[in-house]
Structure 1
């Protein structure tokens, strides 16, 4: 018996050494082909054994909202690369104006607070329209009963059930066109989610679940929607309820299922967010039986963020990517080993555009010609991608840090932005 126990101990030690060595090699490999720099937002008190931190939102100014424990008073912080984390009094999702929605309140940039009545806030757009839910009692001991809600300063809190989405359970994201995505729960039991889209301006309800399954049973979820109306979610593919995977969906393109993570399966790969560049992030379980964060795009496909990130400490793993802004900055979670407390992480693209160098972003339109002008301190030859309602053009910076691009044959209203620097966005009317 003693020899058997020794063998078991030796075997476990060998497994531990192998895992640690693999983690070290992974960090080394990622540094050689790095596309992201890792920033770990540590807890306020590192002396506390169970100290943790989590990131809940990021905007296009690269401001991160989150919570770091333990701390007397509020655990909430606002983090930027320049200031580090600064204690504030609310954490949650954050828009480009710096308005934070969390719990049953929103926090204005001047520190003022407004009550929303929500239990949880999951999304906020630039018009300060907030989506989330209210929570009731337990249902059958399985989970809280919830009702999807939307709040704005004029109308207050409204139920999506009353607005025309039967059994709306959670509203999880809202874009700049006031399109809301989330899930309904028809029975109140675990695991019966069905994805939906609701247009707050027109009142249209799109049953994404029905579009995918055509009346069959199964679970579908919608987590995020970008300004082009592309939804990131998950559900059965090939109408086979036994095979579940991450998808993106839009009215024009329909469903596109994403591949599994390298070393994983689609069943264990979960999409959580999509930005206006079409990049999708999330996480999944791979061969080592641990969660790994991922990023996906049409060109590069599905990739493990741990293979793309430099500065990963030994035994640390980026295990979930929660959100990605239009600059490509990613927030998520990581751990020092399988059972350690969570750490908030920020993954910053290496060699990206210095958005702070853009001094002016100007649009104009006349006689069907839409013009975009950029003034900056960017080096000559630097390239920016201009997005005119999905029509992408390259703007090259010339002498004096200036660059321009022109669209012809334009009419009606347009939303124009710099893809790499999502905070630079404008509405222009071409008549």
Structure 2
């Protein structure tokens, strides 16, 4: 094993913002003490040895789900999540078990959370007022701290934090360099595996063992492990082209994935220990990929197959690699696992629609929608991202991001279902909207207010309530074509408010448009930046299909979002028709940056049948080679008629 360690001296105190330094030190010290005396876990969970039919109460966290990163949940039930707001902008929130809090920013318009520890500290990346990316740590009431300013470095990002407040990530020092940071030591450069190479930290444990990736002398990416005693060690011993860690176990074990070719999406999961070195975890008939691991070495992830969609995976030292199957459909992905051996993720049902699941060895895979306690009418859970050791689950739904609380009242206010309204309406015609809610705490409802997103005044809704359930309805006429967000806000008698939203596309009264809003399944391999991602993507579309001079002017807009991709059209025009499909092309921005082109093929909903299709390809031209580089293509990896099928919402041809 090659060992390289190149440590910088801890940052001098003069580089710290002195007026905030005592606050940060006190907050981190208090956090370390809190680890020694952990608070009572938030919620209850089914017994590992005698499982019961756990049911879950729904807590709304955010009205819409355009995630900028995967949500995290800690042992207390605190949740961190980042929401994309368009144009490359994002905001990060923390649910503190009672309220949802905006953590603030570093002066710029991007804040992305990457990790959350068990005492409620969040780390990630954020832009400054000048647009430079800096790592940050957020410590509750003490606020958000700029790690680059504190450590006296330039561009940086933080990727992981342990329960003692130790942080790892990378900073720009010529090239990217992995770091360790804590209040006593300041910034420590972890070194590289080759002279002039780069490195970055990705994970660490409470024993201060850090894993990450670093370039080798032959310009490959290898996984490394760093300890105070041994420094940086190259742990890639399976002759792979590259490898990257995902998690570090309690005893310094490293789990991650290695890949065969730089341009190939094929990966295989590994486990490294000092006793065994790097070991392939086995195939289960495909290529397993680990996405999460517990300190006790239970991995969760997916298995890629050559001839069918990926499916959820579990691995333990005792059972080896398992294919967890689906809910009757083709594909599934496991995203989170806890120390009680419960796994969550999404799986397709027999109709091909994604549904959030929980899996245990005793009961297998179960649709979480069947285990909701007093759920609001119309609520559908389509994915689950994380689960803590108490069994609380962060999931997405047609009502936005939600927390599933196992069998416990919490005084968290009303639970709301989705806004029920057509995805498309013509200008001047009434849009009828309604929302259902439950009031399990029986505190009563003070008001329901509707906001239409078009600049008009908020409107009070007509409320009907009986026992612990209720609903509200309202109607509105839009004056101009466009894409609008309709929001319903329910306020209970204690003053606590909960909101859900719904995108509406408004078309011209004369028609001549294709329009729609909703979600679809993005298959693995579609998004070049994250080829293993499979899951929900959302779209909003309005485009003219009548190009005659007499056609009424219609705004042409395309908005498309999935985690890590925020695409907005700048121009959009009809290219032609292929059978029942309308084909469009144009240019746009991704993450606020221009220079992208796209081609879109859509088909309209069929009465009593399919909700329509949405097949999108996005690409840009490489400035050096002048060749086109595909950034997104959801026809890639999808099978047959499954490509671009709308699963929620619809597309209408008028």
TM score, norm. by length of structure 1: 0.51
Between the two proteins, the alignment pairs up a number of residues equal to 294
CA drift at 1:128: 0.7
Residues in 2 aligned to 1:187 and 1:343: alpha-carbon distance in whole angstroms: 46
2:207 pairs with 1:172: no
Is residue 193–residue 215 contact of structure 2 (8 Å, CA) maintained in 1? no
Residues in 1 aligned to 2:73 and 2:346: alpha-carbon distance in whole angstroms: 18
Identify the match of residue 326 of structure 2 among 258, 262, 267.
Answer: 262
Identify the match of residue 36 of structure 1 among 56, 61, 69.
Answer: 56
Structure 2 residue aligned with 1:374? none
SS in 2 for 1:128: coil
Identify the match of residue 96 of structure 1 among 110, 113, 118.
Answer: 118
RMSD: 5.0
Structure 2 residue aligned with 1:24? none
Structure 1 residue aligned with 2:147? 116
Residues in 1 aligned to 2:366 and 2:169: alpha-carbon distance in whole angstroms: 30
Is residue 53–residue 343 contact of structure 1 (8 Å, CA) maintained in 2? no
TM score, norm. by length of structure 2: 0.36
Structure 2 residue aligned with 1:105? 136
Residues in 2 aligned to 1:295 and 1:232: alpha-carbon distance in whole angstroms: 22
- Cα 1:188–1:130 shift into 2, 3 Å: farther
Residues in 1 aligned to 2:142 and 2:356: alpha-carbon distance in whole angstroms: 33
Larger relative contact order, structure 1 or 2 (CA cutoff 8 Å, min sep 6): 1
Higher radius of gyration, 1 or 2 = 2
Residues in 2 aligned to 1:176 and 1:68: alpha-carbon distance in whole angstroms: 29
Structure 1 residue aligned with 2:286? 243
Is residue 149–residue 159 contact of structure 1 (8 Å, CA) maintained in 2? yes
CA drift at 1:186: 6.2
Residues in 2 aligned to 1:319 and 1:165: alpha-carbon distance in whole angstroms: 44
SS in 1 for 2:381: strand
Is residue 57–residue 408 contact of structure 2 (8 Å, CA) maintained in 1? no
2:79 pairs with 1:64: yes
In the TM superposition, 1:3-402 aligns within 5 A as: 34-43=54-63, 56-68=71-83, 75-82=91-98, 84-89=99-104, 92=113, 93-103=115-125, 104-117=135-148, 119-134=156-171, 147-162=177-192, 170-183=200-213, 197-199=225-227, 202-203=230-231, 205=233, 207=235, 210=237, 214-216=238-240, 222-227=245-250, 233=256, 235=268, 243-247=286-290, 250=297, 253=317, 256-263=320-327, 270-283=333-346, 289=352, 291-310=354-373, 311=375, 314=378, 316-321=380-385, 323-332=386-395, 334-336=396-398, 343-350=400-407
CA drift at 1:195: 5.1
Per-residue displacement from partner, 1:50-109 (whole Å, max 9, x unpaired)?
Answer: 9779763332222222345659x9833331343x31333156333333322221111233
Structure 1 residue aligned with 2:505? none
Residues in 2 aligned to 1:200 and 1:312: alpha-carbon distance in whole angstroms: 52
> Can you give the 5+ residue segments of structure 2 that lack an aligned partner in the other structure?
1-51, 106-111, 126-134, 149-154, 258-267, 270-279, 299-315, 411-654
Residues in 1 aligned to 2:354 and 2:172: alpha-carbon distance in whole angstroms: 29
CA drift at 1:316: 3.1
Is residue 193–residue 234 contact of structure 2 (8 Å, CA) maintained in 1? no
Residues in 2 aligned to 1:345 and 1:59: alpha-carbon distance in whole angstroms: 15
Per-residue displacement from partner, 1:184-206 (whole Å, max 9, x unpaired)?
Answer: 566999xx876554445654747
SS in 2 for 1:110: helix
